[in-house]
Structure formats: structure tokens, C-alpha cells
Structure 1
């Protein structure tokens, strides 16, 4: 219940795109049905708290993930995270997989953003060849979550080198705060200059 006295978080300048598998959800816990839809899965330790904390602090969140829409609806709803995202972009509906720019452009469009906003977007993911490469190609800040043992941790070329690397989901909260602060300081500098 909100009263006028309760402080609502002010919207942050930084916008966060998140992958799902091995970024929020532990792919090793996925249970799939006969149609390859994920019907149940557990979050990575701390990932639910990360999503909730970012949402509570006023960050706009988008899910940008390869897979079936129903899979993400199932697992994010089960884990109480579905409503924390402003938008969700899936390869199934976009008809492309990361690192295709179509995935990232779809999320930008769904959030009523434009190319001018790209410098204030970060993409957080576990896959250097998809999440990091795709973000880098778009001019979006890339953040590699190196939690999973399932995917390579060494870039194969320069396009896969992340701007930042974090080890645990909750590491994103402090990093997001620092990056947001830089954006706000840059805005203040432009206004006073």
C-alpha cells in the first residue's frame, strides 16, 4: 500500500537488459516438457534478490533471451520475477537469436528508447558469443556474468571482450549503481557546462 509519504524510487538513467539462462535461472535445474518448453527451474543463488533489488531501486529492466516465450513465463512466474520486467524480448517472437542486432533493437523499441539511449543501456549475460558480442556490436555496455561452468569464459576474439565481468548476480547491483552515478554526473556536467 503506497501512501504519499512513502518515497518512490526515482527512475534511474541506466537501463538494464538481462539474459535469463545462467544469468537469472540455473540452466542445470531446468525441467522441459515434450515440446522443449521449460516448465520448472530454479534461480541462480542471489539472482532473484538481484532482480528485485534493481526493480525496487527504480531500474528499468528488460529480458532479452533466446528461447520460447512460454518457458520464460513459466520459470519467471514460478520464481516471482515476471512482473519485475518492463518488457521481455524472446528469440521465438523476434525470429532471431543473439548476437543478432534484431534482439537488442526489439528491446530498445519495446521500451520506447532510441539509438540516442544506447550509451545508457547495459546487457548482462553469461554467453560471450551471444550476449557480449551482440551488445558490443550495438554499442551497448556489456557485462559478463561468469557464474556458470557451462559456457566458455575466454573470448574467442575482440568482439567477445566484455566491458565488465561479475562473478555473482548480486555484484550487478553495486556495478549498476556506479554506472548510473556516472551517467547522472555526465548529465549534470552537460547542464552546467
Structure 2
């Protein structure tokens, strides 16, 4: 009973949604099979530490990513990260891609949250037109991981302007802690 109370006290208010490609996994290292399913890929330096640290500190994590479920299962399992996520929301079964609100709402529903929780969710991703725009349209805090040159770094319009920008995955740990304190 005491242990339950302690773990409850450690539960954080902030909820973290993470993209996968070029946010956790380096898309440049991905190897695909003949069906286009990713069968191998390496984590971005520090991304595995970021995911583990956030989970160990009591943050609820959700993967919100465009692509095939099997690709993400392969990547997260082989890199030892699959079990750190409370839910995994992929565009394939949702039948929509970011910035569609359906992607974000599917993750919100899977975590038994509602619209009133949007103010305590952050979406972290590498793509201004998908991750940032989708989060901003719903009033979810957007965090742009400006790690790669593969995607544009200049917002096309106001909806693509992130609330926060970080340049490497481990910078997310301090940002999440600071944002969580603001919610307390």
C-alpha cells in the first residue's frame, strides 16, 4: 500500500507524445524489406536514454507516428524501447496521417484522456508540417526536434511555429521537467 502511494505521488502531470522517425530512430539507418516494412534501424544518439529516463521518472509516453505498425514494433523492440510506451498510435490502423487530428485523438483516447487534458500533453517530432502543425491545431504543446536536415526547418505558416525547439533528444528531459513543474 505504501509503495502504491509513493508511485502515485511520483506520477507526473505532463504527458509526452513522441514521433519515431528522426525523433527516436535515425531514418537514414532504416533498412526495409520488399514490402516496405522497416526491419532495422538505429536510434538517434541519446534518444534511447531520453525515452528510458522520461519513463523511469514517471512520465506517461505515447508513440504517435505515421507508418506501418510492424515497422515501429520492429524498430522499438530491437532497440529495447517498445515497453516504455503506454500506447502506440500508428497511422496504418487509424487510417489517417499527421497532422490529422485523428492521430492525436486516437492516442488521447488510448490513454483514457480527453480534450481537457490537451493542455498537459506535448507532442515531440521532427516535422513542422505534420507533428508541429497537428499539435498546434489541437492546442497541444509542440516541440520541434531540429536534429536532421531531411525536413524543412522554416515554418511554412503560423501553425508550423513550434512552442519549443530542441536540437538533440536528451534536451527533451530538462524541457519536460520544466514544463511539468509549470503544471504543478
Same fold, TM-score > 0.5, yes or no: yes
Whether 2:137 is the aligned partner of 1:137: answer: yes
What is the number of residues matched between the two proteins?
Answer: 180
Deviation at 1:91, TM superposition (A): 0.3
The residue number in structure 2 matching 1:46 is: 46
Taking the aligned partners of 1:10 and 1:80, their CA distance within structure 2 comes to 24
Taking the aligned partners of 2:148 and 2:47, their CA distance within structure 1 comes to 13
Task: Find the residue that maps to 1:99 and give its secondary structure.
Answer: coil
Taking the aligned partners of 2:16 and 2:148, their CA distance within structure 1 comes to 20
The residue number in structure 1 matching 2:171 is: 171
Task: Find the residue that maps to 1:133 and give its secondary structure.
Answer: helix
* Residue correspondence of structure 1 range 1-193 to structure 2 within 5 A: 8=7, 10-184=10-184
- Off by >6 Å, runs of 4+ in structure 1: none
Deviation at 1:37, TM superposition (A): 0.2
- Long gaps (5+) in structure 1: 185-193
Deviation at 1:10, TM superposition (A): 1.0
Deviation at 1:45, TM superposition (A): 0.2
Task: Find the residue that maps to 1:61 and give its secondary structure.
Answer: strand
Q: CA RMSD in A?
A: 1.2
Q: CA-to-partner distance for each residue in 1:99-155, whole Å, 9 max, x for gaps?
A: 000000000000000011000000000000000000000100000000011000000
- Give the TM-score, by structure 2 length: 0.96
Taking the aligned partners of 1:37 and 1:11, their CA distance within structure 2 comes to 35
Taking the aligned partners of 2:25 and 2:11, their CA distance within structure 1 comes to 26
Give 1 or 2 for the bigger CA radius of gyration.
Answer: 1
- Give the TM-score, by structure 1 length: 0.91
